[in-house]
Amino acid sequence: MSARLILRAVGPGVTLQDAGRRGSLRFGVTPAGPMDARAFAAANLAAGAALGAAAIEVSLGGLELTAEGETIGLAIAGGEFDIRLDGAPLPFACALSLEPGARLTIRAGRSGAWCYVAIAGRIDLPPTLGSLATHTRSFMGGLEGRGLRAGDVLPLADIISPPRELLALEAPWLAASEEPIRAVLGPQADYFSQEAIGEFLSARWRVGQRSDRMAYRLEGGRLAHAKGHDIVSDGVALGAIQVPGDGAPLVLMADRQPTGGYPKIANVIGADIGRLAQRRPGEAFSFSTVSIEQAVAARRALGEAIGAGVRLRAVGGEISTELLLSANLIGGVADAYRPLDKE
Amino acid sequence: MRTTAPRCLDAGEAALVVEFGDSVDPAISAEVLALDAALRAAPLAGIVETVPTYRSLMIHYDPLALTRAALVAHVEALERAAQESAAPSVRWIIPCCYAPPHGEDLAAAGEALSLSPERIAELHSGADFRAYMYGFAPGWCYLGGLPSALAVPRRASPRGPTPRGAVLIGGGLSLIGADPMPTGWYVLGRTPERLFAPERDPSFFVEVGDALRFEPIDEATFRALEEKGARGEMIARRETTR
């Protein structure tokens, strides 16, 4: 029997994501891709998969799965979720072997909003416009363009050998941090008064309940426009902080439309978008502004950290295994929005 | 001829907005499309992709491979060399059925514009359009060139989901829809052509900047062409304009 994963229980908002769908933004196609590209990269590195390979993005709704056909190697990284193998707790970031019959359970844990289950192999589904990334609003990618649900079967190919033992995954860039989320002002900061920009930087913001893969709605302040809130549509980048007429900002995330018609006061930097994505509804944070040069330096530092690979350590054992996987990492790793070439 | 240079605005460290104006205007759109065409003709390593809109071009780039300064210098050099406007070289003839049951909102648009449904169809199918941008959803293509007599404001509240391939007007523009979506625009008719067909190669064929005209067809022709389209064939006709 061919190798496959059987999804036994699936919460809302669980999807398949790869590095994202690029090259068709100009035709109105949403890039999609992982909410937290750092965790997505860590999971794929630990699984020994291609860096941009499709993985399961698990929401706070959780996931339960089993393997059929063969023992499958998996790696999990992201927020501090509650991970169990046949009821026994595992480290929240780990690499493991899932034998046929064993049940892996992932539930919302202490912190974090998303985690990734990467596969030591490849999910064998047909891509749409070159990508398996799911965008449910345009019915694209994944399984039939929809979120995953109980009973779904993911066929696997190119299986590589699973780890012989349970390994804890360590990656310095996954450490939680209370530092402000960094943003670059613009492109329409001139649509706001100095007072509004001051409030943007001083407010304690919370992620609103109605947040999803398209946008994180922020609560905790109202930003007044100086020049009206209706602009002629222009391009929208990942992390754009747009302010509609009611003054409550939205941060545009992986499932954003490529264009939009509200003024954008600032843009979250690439290195911090995954940190913001891991904030749960109700959790507070603040913004700080940085220059383009600082944003590029942070992006480079994250890319280099990911390029140095992840460390896998036998749980409870003496043996230390290090997996350092560095493909061509120039620039692209911190950018989930550019599919990486498999080398 | 432009009197002021475009503004380069940052949308984070990995996207640059080259802004030519703040309104929907054929002259501004022509400048956006000319820069987009020039960038595609002279690609620079580190540019990931470009997104033309009515009034600006968003350039997504990898700042670790291409500095902002080098990108801006490249854009400025292209700007100096660019033609006043790049005229479209391709025109698409898109069949459109304005007849019942497809012209769902012809009567409502006619009321808003004080025109008969027949006159609206006649004006719309007689106009020369240009693809300004895609947006909203895959394959939703916004068209400039709507005759001023058809410039109707968007509805106060949205109508229900559009039929597949809806041809719409609103806010001084025309629009071809792909998959059904609720909208504040008016449905004048339907095209059996699909501007986005994921299984077809190419999945999209109308490029931003291309010229378009609509060709009125009756309901029987619509059905026949729709079957042809379902077999994966292209329905629109391509003409070269130079």
Averaged pLDDT, A111-137 = 96
Tell which of A129, A229, A234 to mutate to test the B interface (max B CBs under 10 Å): A234
Q: Report helix, strand or coil for A147.
A: coil
CB contact under 8 A, B138 and A22: no
Q: What is the pLDDT of residue A328?
A: 38
CB contact under 8 A, B49 and A128: no
Averaged pLDDT, B37-41 = 92
Model pLDDT for residues B87-104, shown as the tens digit of each residue: 788 999 999 999 989 999
CA dist A295 and A273 (Å) reads 12
Q: Is the pLDDT of residue B171 over 90?
A: no
Q: Is A44 exposed, middle or buried (0-12, 13-18, 19+ CB in 10 A)?
A: buried
**Residue B101: cis peptide before it, omega within 30 degrees of 0:** yes
How are beta strands A234-235 and B7-10 bridged, if at all? unpaired
CB contact under 8 A, A259 and B51: yes
Q: Is the pLDDT of residue A338 over 80?
A: no
CB contact under 8 A, B10 and A335: no
Q: Which residues pair with B131 in a beta bridge?
A: B143
| Range of A120-129, A331-340, B232-241 with top mean pLDDT | A120-129
Residue type, B190: R
At A285, list the tokens: 């944070």
Tell which of B7, B8, B10 to mutate to test the A interface (max A CBs under 10 Å): B10
| Cα–Cα distances in angstroms (integers) from residue A325 to residues A13, A51, A339, B204, in the given order | 30, 9, 17, 37
CB contact under 8 A, A267 and B11: yes
Considering chain A, what is the average pLDDT of its residues?
90
Q: Is B3 exposed, middle or buried (0-12, 13-18, 19+ CB in 10 A)?
A: exposed
Residue type, B219: E
ipTM score assigned to the predicted complex: 0.93
Least confident among A261-275, A296-310, A323-337, B23-37: A323-337
How are beta strands A287-289 and A181-185 bridged, if at all? parallel
DSSP B194-218: -S--TTSSSS----TT-EEEEEE--
Model pLDDT for residues A249-304, shown as the tens digit of each residue: 999 999 999 998 899 999 999 999 999 999 999 999 999 999 999 999 999 999 99
Q: Report helix, strand or coil for B119.
A: helix
Give A-chain residues touching B54 at CB under 8 angstroms.
232-234
Q: Which of A215, B72, A260 is nearest to B61 (CA)?
A: B72
Out of B12, B49, B62, closest to residue A267 by CB: B12
Q: Is B37 exposed, middle or buried (0-12, 13-18, 19+ CB in 10 A)?
A: buried
CB contact under 8 A, A186 and B11: yes
Under 8 Å between Cβ of A63 and A6: no
Q: Shortest Cα distance from B118 to chain A (angstroms)?
A: 31
Tell which of A25, A27, A125, A251 to mutate to test the B interface (max B CBs under 10 Å): A27
Q: What is the pLDDT of residue B84?
A: 58
Residues ≥6 apart with Cβ < 8 Å to B231: none
- Placement of tokens 């010229």 in the chain: B211
Q: Which of A315, A264, A291 is nearest to A90 (CA)?
A: A315
Report the residue of chain A nearest B65, measured CA to CA: A331
- Placement of tokens 């059929």 in the chain: A68
CB contact under 8 A, A234 and B56: yes
At B49, list the tokens: 């992709």
Neighbours of B43 (CB within 10 A): 10
Does the beta carbon of A255 lie under 8 angstroms from any beta carbon of chain B? no
Q: Is the pLDDT of residue B160 over 60?
A: yes
Averaged pLDDT, A310-317 = 82
How are beta strands A250-252 and A284-285 bridged, if at all? unpaired
CA dist B88 and A312 (Å) reads 56
CA dist A103 and B138 (Å) reads 38
CB contact under 8 A, B14 and A270: yes
Report the residue of chain B nearest A265, measured CA to CA: B11
Out of B12, B22, B198, closest to residue A239 by CB: B12
Under 8 Å between Cβ of A292 and A144: no
| Cα–Cα distances in angstroms (integers) from residue A302 to residues A88, A173, A288, B36, B134, in the given order | 33, 7, 18, 31, 33
- Placement of tokens 């497809």 in the chain: B102
- Placement of tokens 């699909």 in the chain: B194
Under 8 Å between Cβ of B186 and B155: yes
Considering chain B, what is the average pLDDT of its residues?
92
Residue type, A44: N
Q: What is the pLDDT of residue A261?
A: 85
Out of A292, A299, A335, closest to residue B68 by CB: A292
At A118, list the tokens: 């990467």
Q: Is A73 exposed, middle or buried (0-12, 13-18, 19+ CB in 10 A)?
A: buried
Residues ≥6 apart with Cβ < 8 Å to B138: A24, A27, A28, A29, A30, A138, A140, B178, B179, B196
Q: Is the pLDDT of residue A157 over 60?
A: yes
Helices and strands of chain A, counted as H and E runs: 4, 23
The B-side interface with A (CB below 8 A) comprises 9-15, 17, 19, 22-24, 48-58, 60, 62-65, 68, 133-141, 179, 196, 198, 203-204, 208
- pTM listed for this prediction: 0.92
Max Cα–Cα distance, chain A, nearest Å: 65
Model pLDDT for residues B107-138, shown as the tens digit of each residue: 999 999 999 999 999 999 999 999 999 998 99
